[in-house]
Structure 1
Amino acid sequence: MGSSFLEEIKNKAIKLNKTIVLPESHDERVLKAAEILTREKIVSVITLGNDDRVRSDAKKSDVDLTGVRVIDPSTSDKLSDFTNLYFNLRKHKGVTVEKARETVLRDLFFAAMMVKEGMADGSVAGSSASTADVMRAGIQCVGMPEGISIVSSFFLMIFPEKVYSFADCAVVPDPDVNQLADIAISTADNHRNLTGDEPRVAMLSFSTKGSAQHESVDKVIDAVKNIKDKRPDLEVDG
């Protein structure tokens, strides 16, 4: 199922014809990815940076960026709009207009604002930027889905017969009860969206059905109750 699942994801992307922004144009791997995505018509690609520099770097790396759109945040006609929007989003945190402009000029934040404003359907980053920086831009600019209290991550584990989702594996080291429940709900919904399978959620701990007493076990038990209250449609146990 592994290769067929990935091929299915690729074919879905081709049919949807979405636009993805790749902000880290200084990374040769990103430029090569942009070339492949464009050549195979998987998505429409936008990358950020000075057009001459980006295309010069691509040429040095033998990368063909034909069909890839390059936007320079510093000269974009959206810079003023993005500055004002970010200022209004963050002024309650003491952000000034000057600080807002400085922030949205950063590639990760400019890309996130493009998603916020519908200029792109998604931003893919992290080849050189830290997870924290990528998440910060997304949270501050795009925001959180309604009803979800925490940003989390999940890994797809692809086996020959089935695809599994494991969470949270990278972002939240010690979630509380409500956060743990929201992580499970988000992962279940994303699993359904990506695989088409109806999710069955297993909440893991070192205890088997109450065989041990510990605060971490109690947290899982309470999270299961929380999930059932919030989303009675989900099949969950733990």
Structure 2
Amino acid sequence: KLASENGVSTEGFEYFDPQDEAFIEAYVDDYIAKNEGKRKKPTLKKLTADPVRCGMFLLKNGDVDCVAAGKEYSTGDVIMEAMQGVGLQPGVRSASSLGIADIPGFEGPQGQMLGIADCAVTAQPDAEALAGIAISSADTVRDLLGWEPRVAMLAFSTTGSAKHETVDVVIEAVQKVHELRPDIKCDGEFQLDSAIIPQVAAHKVKRESEVAGKANVLIFPNLHAGNIGVKLIQIFGHANAYGPVLQGFTKPVCDFSRSAPVDEMLGNVAMLVIRAAAAKK
């Protein structure tokens, strides 16, 4: 009705209404028949009672290609439903987020653009979680933007210039990425300047590196650094930061801020659809 009132064509759309009892009854019966009764009907009907939970269930079953939510739900609720509904990718222990920063005056491998993570979800990742963030971020920029990811793991130390237990976490995370996904160019630990400025990398990094001085994805060691970092480049560098994009799930999921304007929601949906299309290739 709303689309009709605003002159928007809905031709080709399919609708799944979790409030339509007849539809839910038929869908659940069909699911049970196809899956040889792996779940009981009361459990399945409970899964479809909530709109976001229903969306995740449809996504898991392949009836939809991606899910966008959050306008009426908190980020924590969306993440929880995605964790329970579709789960995490192999090698990824926690969900995370990636932002795309467009920084005036910066000249890197992708011009003014940098991928930055995690700035919104995981507060204090251990080495395994940090490795998962790096892996998810590499996959996201490849699928979303077509980049060849060069992932720098950031710290206050560059290749052993300082010693601290928090630096050890970053070093261990780099090793885990190499073990889990040797196809990803990932290196560190690097200070920010060593990661993105070739002249500094040439001076500070005394070994071969495919990432030092030419990183296009930056992984912060914790949410403090990520949150402060993105606000610094926005305020003082006049950067635009797009996202954050939720990542790490087995299928594409997007979260809106509850205060998001329509144009921001459309931008996030556009990125989500691109990721979903890439995932089907």
Query: What's the TM-score bracket when you normalise by the shorter of the two chains?
Result: 0.5 to 0.7
Structure 1 gap segments, 5+ residues each = 1-54, 90-95
- The answer as to whether partners of 1:191 and 1:199 remain within 8 angstroms in 2 is yes
Deviation at 1:103, TM superposition (A): 3.9
CA deviations 1:122-174 (Å, max 9, x no partner) are: 01111221111111111111122233222221112234624321111111111
Query: 63-72 or 147-156, which moves further after superposition?
Result: 63-72
Question: TM (normalized to structure 1)?
Answer: 0.63
1:150-165 alignment, distance < 5 Å: 150-159=94-103, 161-165=111-115
- 1:190 equivalent to 2:140? Answer yes
For residue 73 of structure 2, the aligned residue among 124, 129, 154 is 129
Report SS of the residue matched to 2:172.
helix
Question: Which structure dedicates a bigger proportion of its chain to helix?
Answer: 1
Match of 1:23 in 2: none
Deviation at 1:220, TM superposition (A): 0.4
Percent of aligned pairs sharing the same letter: 37
Structural RMSD (CA): 2.7
Report SS of the residue matched to 1:78.
helix
- Number of residue pairs matched? 174
C-alpha separation in 2, matches of 1:97 and 1:153: 35
Q: Which amino acid aligns with 2:17?
A: D
Q: Which amino acid aligns with 1:72?
A: D
Q: Which amino acid aligns with 1:108?
A: V
CA deviations 1:9-43 (Å, max 9, x no partner) are: xxxxxxxxxxxxxxxxxxxxxxxxxxxxxxxxxxx
Match of 1:234 in 2: 184
- The answer as to whether partners of 1:156 and 1:166 remain within 8 angstroms in 2 is yes
For residue 178 of structure 1, the aligned residue among 125, 128, 132 is 128
CA deviations 1:165-213 (Å, max 9, x no partner) are: 1111111111111111111011111111112121111101122333332
Match of 2:19 in 1: 74
Report SS of the residue matched to 2:96.
coil
- The answer as to whether partners of 1:104 and 1:110 remain within 8 angstroms in 2 is yes
Deviation at 1:105, TM superposition (A): 0.9
- The answer as to whether partners of 1:153 and 1:171 remain within 8 angstroms in 2 is yes
C-alpha separation in 1, matches of 2:17 and 2:145: 36
CA change 1:130–1:153 in 2 (3 A) is same
Report SS of the residue matched to 2:154.
coil
Question: TM (normalized to structure 2)?
Answer: 0.54
For residue 58 of structure 2, the aligned residue among 110, 114, 118 is 114
C-alpha separation in 2, matches of 1:219 and 1:63: 53
For residue 207 of structure 1, the aligned residue among 157, 161, 166 is 157
Deviation at 1:115, TM superposition (A): 1.0
Deviation at 1:235, TM superposition (A): 1.9
Between the two structures, name the one with larger relative contact order (CA 8 Å, sep ≥ 6). 2
C-alpha separation in 1, matches of 2:72 and 2:113: 28
